[in-house]
A and B are shown apart, each in its own frame.
Chain A
């Protein structure tokens, strides 16, 4: 666990999803020394590794981009950046120890996570995030013959439903709080999913209000056009759009506005030589992540002119980002789902009623322990931001739990 393993890069990319891979590929083309870091055992990110994108076109894209990654690019798998040791030097940890990663230019492609909103019963076994359930099925969780309710909002839900159905799950119901269920912007994709999911009960203005079960989930009460109904099921896959991962950006001092990292036309953040691409700059999906990653990678490698050639392509994908943002805006009704006893912070077992007495996120943390657990508030933070309008605290190291020996 020594710190002697130090590596230096012209361009260091954090995050191995579409944006990160594209950045690493384009930077490496310029002949500079490139490294890529991901906390999972393989590249691909949430979207490609778990097959969330699902469409054949996505699969082809994944293969194409991954094959373009030259062997000279040094990849660090299962490696988590948890702090910066000094300007231009990140600290990362893997199973064996700690590593110093030095960079001249940095591309942050840290992706997004699902947002969870608390409702009675949401902590029961077999209530899961939509993306999380898909990832678990990919890793071997048996789903054949299981009755699954899909609920919430976001670009992943229909794709998850289609995937689970293909794996033999019985999709009992899809409920979408948004007024219109569609795969925004992408007609062919939408049609394909619609066709795949034909015959499945699907309702709009509909959301889960409670999950029930003795030991594990047995049924879900949903609110549908103002009425409540009960749907029996084995699994509830539930997520409420996505939350960008911006902790590292915040730690490095990058300006963040309205939850998103501010970037210039070259994807450079407010901090010189630190670039950002993909979901942290705005939830835009794979296409947007790829082109932003390309621009960031080229710009970080000093190829501004080549980066500029991609501006037009990016402009098109940004329209999709705006549509997503509008389509998946959270309905105010979702603020009233928790009952007094509903747990909001799972790590520390903090109920909704205890949080109602608090005046800020920091006060809630200190007086109720909300957000003080292992997830460091990654789940309850965005939930309380929506429920109470609390602003998040400043980001402090370690941004992921790290061994004491790695920090000292």
Chain B
């Protein structure tokens, strides 16, 4: 390791790459970060910035909850433009079946120490008067957070830079692994460890990993302070948005600190172009208006798309790659990259330095993929 130019080269300056750069430098390692564009220019720029605890699986819960706690402890240091707000999430139940899911979720979160409150229709209405009539209730998850991801990524990267990390932007990596990185101009940079944090493009740099692009759309409105107070999601989200087979939309809206409303969400496989897809956008906006009819009268100022890095089992790939001892992965975070970036960096660096981790890395190890694909 001592002959290499850097201890660690991280490819990708999104929120995950930034968190890793911050963590590695804090442990005294010589770090270089490379990105073909600028800090937070990929999925980090496109995402909602919803720091949310999720319970699709125990492993997902552990990672999201741990990471949320890390965000909370980081809060005092985050600059104002990160727009950190602990606005909480309300999972909205539209019918009795979804109310059952509210109760299950309530039990699950409560048992694990996450503060949650079941809302009856009146309580729901009181908290969010712009939701439509006739909903069955909801679950308030009080500690969920909203922030502005590009600035959070920049903060982490700046902190790493101040501790000695080097950052080269606007450079394209054509090869990584076997202890070095090659740039498009042919230059090679050696490193003891190479981290692939290239998000949805990770598979283009590391063959054999199952990371695919999953396209999403978002719409943002003009400023309407107080129109919504919590991040609102439908519970059908679990049924519809995670279906792997087809394009889907779900009601998922967020009040920004500016008073703007961010309207999501959509998920599409196999769509590689960045253009806004009229059909899916329309479906997404109609779904949102079904829940919040008043959204229709608000002025939308901008739409955009982005690509999530998805894996077959919906868990990220964190840890050593299967074939190359010097190559580590930190990708495949799907829609939870902002949430889980800090925990990803912690457990990755813990694993590399031999420190005792707060949560086990095993469920996220890239080596699990071989086993998983047997069941898939």
Q: Kindly report which residue of chain A lies nearest to residue B296, judged by CB atoms.
A: A405
B281 to A401, Cβ gap below 8 A?
Answer: no
Within 8 A of B (CB), among A344-364: 359-360, 362-363
Q: Assess the A404–B282 pair: CB atoms within 8 A.
A: no
Residues of A within 8 A of B222 (CB): 374, 401
Among B117-125, B179-187, B283-291, the stretch in contact with A: B283-291
**Whole-angstrom CA separation of A147 from B295 in the bound complex:** 46
**Is B263's beta carbon under 8 Å from chain A?**
yes
User: What's the nearest-Cβ distance from chain B to residue A13, in Å?
Assistant: 23
Task: Tell me if A398 is interfacial: C-beta within 8 Å of chain B.
Answer: yes
Query: Given the known A-B contacts A359-B169, A366-B41, A402-B300, are A407 and B150 also in contact in the complex, defined by CB atoms under 8 Å?
Result: no
CB atoms of B301 and A401 under 8 A apart: yes
Of A372, A376, A407, most B-chain CB atoms within 10 Å: A407
Name which residue of chain B comes closest to A348, CB basis: B258
CB pair A85–B300 under 8 Å, yes or no, is: no
Min Cβ gap B251→A in Å is 12
**Smallest Cβ distance from B219 to chain A, in angstroms?**
7
**Contact A403–B170 (Cβ < 8 Å):** no
Q: How far is the CA of A367 from the CA of B288 in the complex (A)?
A: 28
Cβ of B174 within 8 Å of any chain A Cβ, yes or no, is no
B110 part of interface (Cβ distance < 8 Å): no
Check: A304 CB closer than 8 A to any chain B CB. no
Expressed in whole angstroms, the Cα–Cα distance for A367 and B285 within the complex equals 26
A1 at interface, CB cutoff 8 A: yes
Q: When the two chains form their complex, are residues A408 and B289 in contact, meaning their CB atoms are under 8 A apart?
A: yes
A404 lies within 8 A of B281 (CB): no
CB neighbours of A1 from chain B (8 A): 296
**Which residues in chain B, 253-282, are within 8 Å of chain A measured between CB atoms?**
263, 274, 276, 278, 281-282
Kindly identify which residue among A359, A367, A398 contacts B300, using a CB–CB cutoff of 8 Å: A398
Contact A359–B170 (Cβ < 8 Å): yes
A326 CA / B121 CA spacing, docked (Å)? 67
Most central of A1, A367, A404 by chain B CB within 10 Å: A404
| B289 with A404: CB separation less than 8 A | yes
Which A residues are CB-close (under 8 A) to B299?
Answer: 374, 401-404
Give complex CA distance A359, B300 in Å.
27
Are B282 and A403 in touch, CB under 8 angstroms?
A: no
A405/B297 in contact, CB under 8 A: yes
Which residue of chain A is the closest to B154 with respect to CB atoms?
A367
Given the known interface contacts A359-B38, A363-B38, A408-B284, the answer about A403 and B298 at a Cβ–Cβ threshold of 8 Å is yes
Question: Is B31 close to A, CB under 8 A?
Answer: no
Contact A408 B301 (CB under 8 A): no
CB < 8 Å neighbour of B276 from A359, A360, A397, A405? A397
Q: How far is A359 from B35 in the complex, measured between Cα atoms in Å?
A: 13
Which residues of B have CB within 8 Å of A374?
222, 299, 301
B288 adjacent to A403 (CB under 8 Å): no
B246 within 8 Å of A by Cβ?
no
A-chain residues with CB within 8 Å of residue B283 when the two chains form the complex? 408
Q: How far does the alpha carbon of A401 sit from the alpha carbon of B224 in the complex, in Å? A: 14
Contact residues in B for A394 (Cβ distance below 8 Å): 274
Check if B243 is an interface residue, CB within 8 A of chain A. Answer: no
Closest residue on chain B to residue A3 by CB atoms? B282
Which of B278, B281, B296, B297 lies in contact with A86, CB distance below 8 A? B278
Q: Does A306 contact B (CB under 8 A)?
A: no
User: B345 an interface residue at 8 Å Cβ cutoff?
Assistant: no
For A315, the chain B residues whose CB sits under 8 A away are: none
A374 to B258, CA, bound (A): 13
By beta carbon, the residue of chain B nearest A1 is B296
Does chain A have a CB within 8 A of B240? no
B28 → A minimal CB distance (Å):
28
> Which residues of A have CB within 8 Å of B278?
83, 85-86
Q: Is the CB of A404 within 8 A of B41?
A: no
- The answer to whether B281 and A407 touch across the interface, beta carbons within 8 angstroms, is yes
Query: A396 at interface (Cβ–Cβ under 8 A)?
Result: yes
B300 touches A403 (CB 8 A): yes
- Whether B326 sits at the interface, judged by CB under 8 Å, is no
From the candidates A363, A396, A405, A408, name the one contacting B302 in the complex (CB within 8 A). A396
> Quick one: given A359-B170, A366-B41, are A372 and B286 in contact (CB under 8 Å)?
no
Chain B: CB-nearest residue to A402: B300
Rounded to whole angstroms, the CA-CA distance of A372 and B274 in the bound complex is: 19
B151 touches A (CB below 8 Å):
yes
Does any Cβ of A come within 8 Å of B232's Cβ?
A: no
What residue of chain A has the Cβ atom nearest to residue B44's Cβ?
A: A366
Residue B176 interfacial (CB < 8 Å): no
Distance between Cα atoms of A316 and B264 in the complex (Å): 52
Within 8 Å of chain A (Cβ to Cβ): is B304?
A: yes
Query: 1/0 per position for A85-129, CB-CB distance to B under 8 A?
Result: 110000000000000000000000000000000000000000000
Q: Residue B40 at the A interface, CB < 8 A? A: yes
Given contacts A404-B263, A408-B282, A408-B286, contact A396 B276 (CB under 8 A): yes
- In order of increasing CB-CB distance, the 7 nearest A-B pairs are A408-B285, A405-B296, A363-B38, A366-B150, A401-B299, A408-B286, A401-B301
Q: List 29 A-B contacts (CB under 8 A).
A: A85-B278, A86-B278, A359-B170, A367-B38, A367-B150, A372-B301, A372-B302, A373-B301, A374-B222, A374-B301, A376-B301, A398-B302, A401-B222, A402-B299, A402-B300, A403-B296, A403-B298, A403-B299, A403-B300, A404-B219, A404-B263, A404-B289, A404-B296, A404-B300, A405-B297, A407-B285, A407-B300, A408-B286, A408-B288
Identify the B interface with A (CB < 8 A). Answer: 37-41, 45, 150-151, 154, 169-170, 219, 221-222, 263, 274, 276, 278, 281-286, 288-289, 295-304
A→B interface (CB under 8 Å): 1, 83, 85-86, 359-360, 362-363, 366-367, 372-374, 376, 394, 396-398, 401-405, 407-408
